[in-house]
Chain A
Amino acid sequence: MPDESSVLDFQRVSLQYEGTWALRNVSLALKAGETRIILGAAGSGKTTLLKAVIGLVHVDEGTIKIFGEEVTSRKEHELYSLRGRAGMLFQEGALFDSLSIGENVEYPLMNQQPTGRQGDEASLQSEADQRAREALRFVELEQTFDKFPSELSGGMRRRVGIARAIVTEPPLILYDSPTAGLDPITANTIMALVAKERDVRNTTSLIVTHRYQDGELMANFRYNPERAELVPVPEEEQTDPSHSRTKFIVMKEGEVIFLGTRRELESCDDDYVKRFVRHEA
């Protein structure tokens, strides 16, 4: 019997692509409000892991459950309602080229509207407009509402991707490399948004990243609504493992070879794991 608050549950999940393991015997469990930072070399299966969560790839073995419901045994059209409760930021943003920024962010709202809802077409549209603008304001890009993805920089597209992932306020959000290839300032802005989203709405999140700092930020900072900024988590809470809702995962060739807190990660002496930890000189 899974825990009531268990949001995500992987049990011995394996997936092979033409003989190479993309996921190998992966087991994971996340409760509501928890965060996992996923580190690993290129091609180690991080994106595949995220896609498997919402059934975008079919696994060969094992079971995946989100919100207590099984993903792995469902057919594609039975997954749509479940996917509505998870937001995903794709590695390259994956914005729809043919739609404007506003339409991109509205898309999940217009699409995942439960059927038979009150209100006519026009009021639904204006409500979606409103919420899309809010989500864009959250990522500080409201002025781009009528532009097209091709007119935006890579970092801006990534932020629009975040807006699209969070606009329906899903309880589970999957971020695939939110900071890859960005300058440090933009990267920090984005991670601050991710942390803010987590603390304001208590979302559960999986974050794939290449930057160790991103994980540090998620683990050591917390959004303070009064001051409207991130503040460091007090030192005594950082050391107490019962407080740490942020854990790190290191993947290698499809396998999870490390799972633990930031301190455990920093004291781990596996050569592969060490590569992903920044040690103070």
Chain B
Amino acid sequence: MQYEGEVVAGSSCLLRFLTTWIGSFQEFLILAGLAFRNVVRRPHYYDDVFLQMDIIGVGSLPIVILTGAFSGAIIALQMSRALNTYGASSQVGAIVSLTLVRELGPVLTALLVAGRNASGIASELGSMKVTEQIDAMRALGTDPVQKLVTPRLTATAIMLPCLTVVADAIGLFGAFVVAVPLLRLITSEQYWSTSWRALVLNDLGQGLGKPFVFGMLIALIGCFYGLRTTGGTQGVGRATTQAVVAASIWIFFVTFLIDKIFVNL
């Protein structure tokens, strides 16, 4: 009897969790649908798109460059030791370019941008929500999704692939500095030709397709948590944290999904 009660209580708790989660996910999909539909609908707020591109793209450049350089250098350092044991240290360029372009470049850049901009978007929209600016916008005849969400979606989807290309290039350069002048594993020509030849079209597709998807995810998740903020300034803090956590988890989950599809190709 007693256990039965606990089981019922436990399962109803789980059920409640599941229904709220599914409910939120449904709301998220609705928001995403509206935001995508508005990409082709008028009015277009180009000024806001460019402003967001500046904030997200140019603003993230320094941290993306730094992280890219160090991750390239670190991979080169670690790989050179492992490759040495197999007498394959000439392949360091190939290994670095594959790991960077396929996985680390997109994922690291997306995580950085999630930390920087999913939080920024969530807190900005969250503050607007709790100070009734979103309601004011609706009262004055502007669709908040059109004015706030779609520009952020467009801007992030465009800028994240660009940032990733930068991170990849800088990472390759960081690895070059370690492999060639520092450790003298191979010559400069060898490094660049092996690293370039290692890449096939599939890698480039993954390397650019992933950040495109991540960009949309980051913007939409930031906007979603921002727009559903309740409970004053405390709520804004909560929304910001939730946005970063959710965006990071989704980045890993989607990476896994994409890899599952592409690796089997």
Binding site for B on A (CB under 8 A): 51, 54, 56, 76-77, 80-81, 83-84, 86, 88, 90-92, 94-97, 107-108, 111-112, 164
Contact = CB atoms under 8 A, between A and B. Distances in A.
Given A92-B131, A108-B141, 17 more contacts: A77-B143, A81-B141, A88-B136, A90-B136, A92-B132, A94-B131, A94-B132, A94-B133, A95-B136, A96-B133, A96-B137, A97-B127, A97-B133, A108-B140, A111-B141, A111-B142, A164-B140
Interface of B: 127-128, 131-133, 135-143
Contact of B135 (A80, A86, A94): A94
Q: Which 6 A-B pairs have the closest CB atoms?
A: A94-B136, A94-B132, A80-B141, A90-B132, A108-B140, A88-B139
Contacts of B140: 83, 107-108, 111-112, 164
A136 B132 CA distance: 21
Contacts of A81: 141
A56 B139 contact: yes
A96 B133 CA distance: 6
Most chain B beta carbons < 10 A, residue from A81, A94, A96, A107: A94
B67 to A, nearest CB: 29
Contacts of A90: 132, 135-136, 139
B23 to A, nearest CB: 13
Nearest to A91: B132
A83 B139 CA distance: 6
B24 to A, nearest CB: 16
A224 to B, nearest CB: 32
11 contacts: A80-B141, A81-B141, A92-B132, A94-B133, A94-B136, A97-B128, A107-B140, A108-B141, A111-B141, A112-B140, A164-B140
Contacts of A84: 141
A112 B141 contact: yes
Most chain A beta carbons < 10 A, residue from B128, B138, B139, B143: B139
A94 B127 CA distance: 11
A90 B140 CA distance: 12
Contacts of B127: 97
A70 B187 CA distance: 77
Contacts of A97: 127-128, 131, 133
B142 A96 contact: no
Contacts of B143: 76-77, 80
Contacts of A56: 135, 138-139
Contacts of B128: 97
Nearest to B139: A88
Contacts of B137: 96
A107 B131 CA distance: 17
Contacts of B132: 90-92, 94
